[in-house]
Amino acid sequence: MKIHFYRITGTILLIVIGALIWLSNLGIIFIAWYRDWPVILIIIGVIGLIKHIIKR
């Protein structure tokens, strides 16, 4: 059951990142990737922390 949750979380993260890149390329939102890329690392870290808390 936990493995299923982790796969869904990773999949959702990839979908969100892909959607942000796509919307940025279409000009709907403006994301300066050279400036905003650390946010992706923060999100990955938060997800990892949540996984660790749930695992306990």
The DSSP H or E segment spanning 14 is helix 2-26
pLDDT surpassing 70 at residue 4: no
The answer to whether the beta carbons of residues 9 and 47 sit under 8 Å apart is yes
What total of structural domains would you count in the chain? 1
Contact 3, 51 (CB under 8 A): no
Model pLDDT for residues 11-23, shown as the tens digit of each residue: 788 788 888 888 8
pLDDT category, 1, cuts 50, 70, 90? low
CB 5 within 8 A of CB 54: yes
- Domain range for 9 is 2-55
Q: Which two tokens stand for residue 3?
A: 């493995």
- Identify the H or E element spanning 53: helix 33-55
pTM above 0.85, yes or no: no
